[in-house]
Amino acid sequence: MFIGHYGLGFMIKRKFREIPLWILFLSVQLMDIVAFILVFFGVEKAAYRNSDNPFFRNNLDLPYSHSLIGALLLSAILYLILMIINRKSWALIAALCVLSHWVIDFIVHTPDLSIFFGYIKTGLGLWTYPYLSFGLEIILVLTGWLILKYMNAISYLLLFLLIGSFTGMIFGKEPDGIKTNEALRTLIVLGSNMLFIVLAYFSERIQKDKRG
């Protein structure tokens, strides 16, 4: 799943107001962030491939970041970091947000998610139904955004960029110069995720200022 994870971040923020939205965004996407750092350095792979199904245009080989064991390790690392810096009330929820990424990906991925670092691959394959998958992600983001009710310019911009970038990725044609440049594709994905996290920070900050 792509932007749908952020929808979950919005929803959890509604319930756990003390946890910053940017922390929740970072948590739900930590697996992808780690994955594309590993892709950039050649440890994992996410190369372009031709496919009529837009969800299969990434030839994914993510044995470490997207294994269940990897997800549990990332959850534990984030939990320990937050405990060490005395953010104990955030730690468990943030760790579960990290793990939620694997659970949601298990629903949409074909059997390319592993249990143990590349071994025992699994996935229910919702991506084989691209329009259903696309609709689900949009619904998750819109529902989460509406539940949270951050009505400020940055929040609207965040929503627009989330849905706009995802829609363009699914229905647009990727330029040839990006298709063949794995490093550039990776940096675009990383940059997009960082932008969403930064916008989440400023959206919440503006919302707090509005409330006085």
Share of the chain above pLDDT 70, in %: 100
- pLDDT, the chain, mean: 95
Res. 47: pLDDT tops 90: no
Query: Which residues partner with 52 through β-bridges?
Result: none
The CA radius of gyration of the chain, in Å to the nearest whole number, is: 17
Q: Are 8 and 100 in contact (CB under 8 A)?
A: yes
42 and 186 Cβ atoms separated by less than 8 Å: no
Threshold 0.85, pTM exceeds: yes
Helix (H), strand (E) at residue 141: helix 130-148
User: Does 175 have pLDDT greater than 90?
Assistant: no
Under a CB-based contact definition with an 8 Å cutoff, are residues 71 and 101 in contact? yes
Indicate the pLDDT class of residue 212, thresholds 50, 70 and 90: low
Q: Work out the average pLDDT over 76-82.
A: 98
Give the span between the Cα atoms of 80 and 64, in whole angstroms.
Answer: 20
pLDDT digits (tens, 9 = 90+) for 21-42: 999 999 999 999 999 999 999 9
Q: What local confidence, expressed as pLDDT, does residue 171 receive?
A: 92
Query: Distance (Å, rounded) from C-alpha 91 to C-alpha 81?
Result: 8
pLDDT band at 209 (very low <50, low <70, confident <90, very high): confident
